[in-house]
Amino acid sequence: MVNRMRSTRSHTGNRRSHHALDAARFSKCSNCGAMHQAHRVCMNCGSYNGKKVIDLATKAARKAAKAKKAENVR
């Protein structure tokens, strides 16, 4: 049996031409100078748009406490 509505290779390629991924865009942090993804918080200093958004010391302490608790459970 022949497929009547077969998609040719060119039509398939034309459809897939929009599926390509763009490269990630990076920008320099105005606070510490590290590179970070555009429109995202800088994970080096925790600031976004010149304002402190994340307290990285508290986050690191919380992560260490969680790891210690998980270690004690084992």
How far is residue 63's CA from residue 54's CA, in Å, rounded to a whole number?
14
6-14 — which CB contacts under 8 Å span 24+ positions?
A: none
What element of type H or E holds 73?
helix 56-73
Q: What is the pLDDT of residues 5-56, one digit of tens each?
A: 899 999 999 999 999 999 999 999 999 999 999 999 999 999 999 899 999 8
Per domain, the residue ranges of the chain are 22-73
**pLDDT level of residue 2 (50, 70, 90 thresholds):** confident
